[in-house]
Chains A and B, each alone.
Chain A
């Protein structure tokens, strides 16, 4: 009896160590979540990155070819154009979304009649499925039946219908307009939430200090809203940079690749064209841009000295 007990003792303590010590215990508890992350997030991402280094096609597992896809893309004028398009699209749309969204948020923050009704209306473009709104814009931009062309002709401002999606410059402006329309609610509602966290007494104090309406905005609203602006615009930039649906429905990248974004080009080459490896490489090429945007917002905008906690 005594000997079996002494023999069992180290065993149980080993087991106890694995089940009861703080470090191990927390590992066990984290494991399910970690597994989910590994399987559903890391694996697809890793596979995508791996495919970028192979010559895989649909129906044919590829072999490792190193940076050959990237070397090819480096010299590919369409790929270079898609980078330019994506940067233009993202920059122009984000700036417009920010300015218009902030303006809308400031308006909605005033004491308007039917305030909640207007707030609900503003959210509509965000709620409607992208494909549906894209089809609506497709009609709005139609070369024959465009309501914009019709209205402008009726008003006598133009003589010919506008070729919205057939002309490279017009097509770029059109898709940016559609994206801005769709993205404003997100920016406006998030910034509105941010505006509502600014205490009324700060505005009162600043009013008594002699601030004009512009100075209230410049010295109270804007600085206090900066952290929210940083987060909102980071997300907005990420959404815009990776946009696919709007372009795919409206122009499919045309005319003459003038609206091809990296995401649409990746899909076209990888899935429609069957060049999985090349498509994956284009998608992977987006990652540095996205990381850059996140890091810029994190280090440049989000962290403010005055937000950090007490103590010195």
Chain B
């Protein structure tokens, strides 16, 4: 096990720079997810840690060793690929034993380690099968088995669950998390799915356009997003945003389009008159006579909750989630408000949290 340090890392393909100085510190034994929309550079960063891509600028270290010039196989890492990358001509056991076989490990040791990994992952009955004879989830497990067998310093996962169906994804999510709790190996996990990131990680790194937007614990990102991007990316359904300005003489209020007025907590740091974006999570909205009016467009009951998509008088879309059931009809106007302390205010120009 080892810590991983990423210091001011740049990456260019030809003249296109896709990582513009990324720094992340990963503590020994931590489970870190790199999350962001496709094209944000998260997979490239992972491949640079693995040594599959060279480093244009900056420094990556594993443990105490800077690995910029260290060959992939010397880095003592194991990677699980999105398409699993199982060797189709080898059985499950041979797939898992491959790295040990290349190291000319003694056969007894190979058997012990393969069997131990197979037991952990429930692969014992499948050891003599070929990858083609396995289901997606089983292949996924073999790919992890191949990583476990090597007992590496760091596990790297590159969107490992994106080829699985929704139900299996949830099951494997828990399995990977449990595996990490058991093995305590430093893990870097790339995903574009913020739910995966939220549920699994000790620490989330939100990336966007080759830059780190925010690093923090899952609930920190949820409760205090640093900027508009993180606010919109973390949380499902996504946070509602209303554009407007700060007003009010005695107590500060938010004035949005179409005369939407929302009271704000007294201690906000924004100056009156400045233009802001106000963010409110769908689950924090509640029905209240003193709230702002919303015309209901679509009502989506999911059983456990009721999702309402509506429009403010200013024409901005707003989504509200209710735990309790309401008999709403499209076209109906309801009044919504939220606890002022749950509002997020962002500078409209810079997108930074106020």
Contacts and interface: CB of A to CB of B under 8 A. Distances in A.
Interface of A: 199, 201-202, 204-211, 215, 219-220, 223-224, 304-312
A311 B131 CA distance: 11
A312 B85 contact: no
A64 to B, nearest CB: 52
Contact of A204 (B52, B102, B146): B52
A223 B79 CA distance: 23
Interface centre among B83, B85, B133 (most CB of A within 10 A): B85
B161 interface: no
B220 to A, nearest CB: 33
Contact of A224 (B77, B85, B89, B99): B89
Interface centre among A201, A215, A304 (most CB of B within 10 A): A201
Contacts of A210: 73, 99, 102-103
A199 B84 CA distance: 11
B78 interface: yes
Contacts of B78: 208
Contacts of A209: 73, 98-99, 102, 146, 150
Given A204-B50, A207-B73, 11 more contacts: A199-B85, A204-B79, A206-B87, A208-B77, A209-B99, A210-B99, A210-B102, A306-B130, A306-B131, A309-B132, A312-B129
B99 A199 contact: no
B132 A306 contact: yes
A205 B90 CA distance: 14
Given A210-B99, A215-B102, A204 B81 contact: yes
Nearest to A204: B52
B52 A202 contact: no
28 contacts: A201-B85, A202-B85, A204-B50, A204-B79, A204-B81, A205-B146, A207-B52, A207-B73, A208-B50, A208-B73, A208-B77, A208-B78, A209-B73, A209-B146, A210-B73, A210-B99, A210-B102, A210-B103, A211-B102, A219-B87, A219-B102, A220-B87, A224-B89, A306-B89, A306-B132, A309-B132, A312-B129, A312-B133
Contacts of B88: 224, 306-307
Interface string B224-267: 00000000000000000000000000000000000000000000
A205 B132 contact: no
Contacts of A312: 129, 133
Interface in B147-184: 150
A206 B89 CA distance: 13
A178 to B, nearest CB: 36
B79 A208 contact: yes
Contacts of B130: 305-306
A311 B133 CA distance: 6
B72 interface: yes
Interface string B43-71: 00000001110000000000000000000
A212 to B, nearest CB: 8
Nearest to A223: B89
Secondary structure of the A contact surface, majority rule: helix
A208 B133 contact: no
A204 B83 CA distance: 12
A219 B73 CA distance: 16
Interface in B72-112: 72-73, 77-79, 81, 83, 85, 87-90, 98-99, 102-103
Nearest to A305: B130
Interface in B25-51: 50-51
Contacts of A310: 132-134
B83 A199 contact: yes
B81 A205 contact: yes
Interface in B263-316: none
B72 A207 contact: yes
Contacts of B99: 209-210
A302 B73 CA distance: 33
A78 B226 CA distance: 90
A220 B130 CA distance: 15
A201 B43 CA distance: 13
Contacts of A205: 79, 81, 85, 87, 146
Contacts of A224: 88-89
Nearest to A198: B88
Contacts of B146: 205, 209
Contacts of B133: 310-312
Contacts of B52: 204, 207-208
A224 B73 CA distance: 22
Nearest to B126: A312
Interface centre among B50, B52, B103 (most CB of A within 10 A): B52
A40 B51 CA distance: 59
Top 7 nearest A-B pairs (CB, nearest first) are A209-B99, A210-B73, A201-B85, A205-B85, A306-B130, A223-B89, A306-B89
A204 B80 CA distance: 11
Nearest to A209: B99
A220 B50 CA distance: 20
A41 to B, nearest CB: 36
Interface centre among A201, A210, A224 (most CB of B within 10 A): A210
Contacts of A311: 133
A311 B135 CA distance: 10
Nearest to B91: A306
Contacts of B85: 199, 201-202, 204-205
Nearest to B102: A210
A162 B53 CA distance: 53
B44 to A, nearest CB: 13
A247 to B, nearest CB: 39
B148 to A, nearest CB: 13
A223 B88 CA distance: 9
B131 to A, nearest CB: 8
Contact of B98 (A201, A219, A306, A307): A219
Interface centre among B51, B132, B150 (most CB of A within 10 A): B132
Contacts of A202: 85, 87
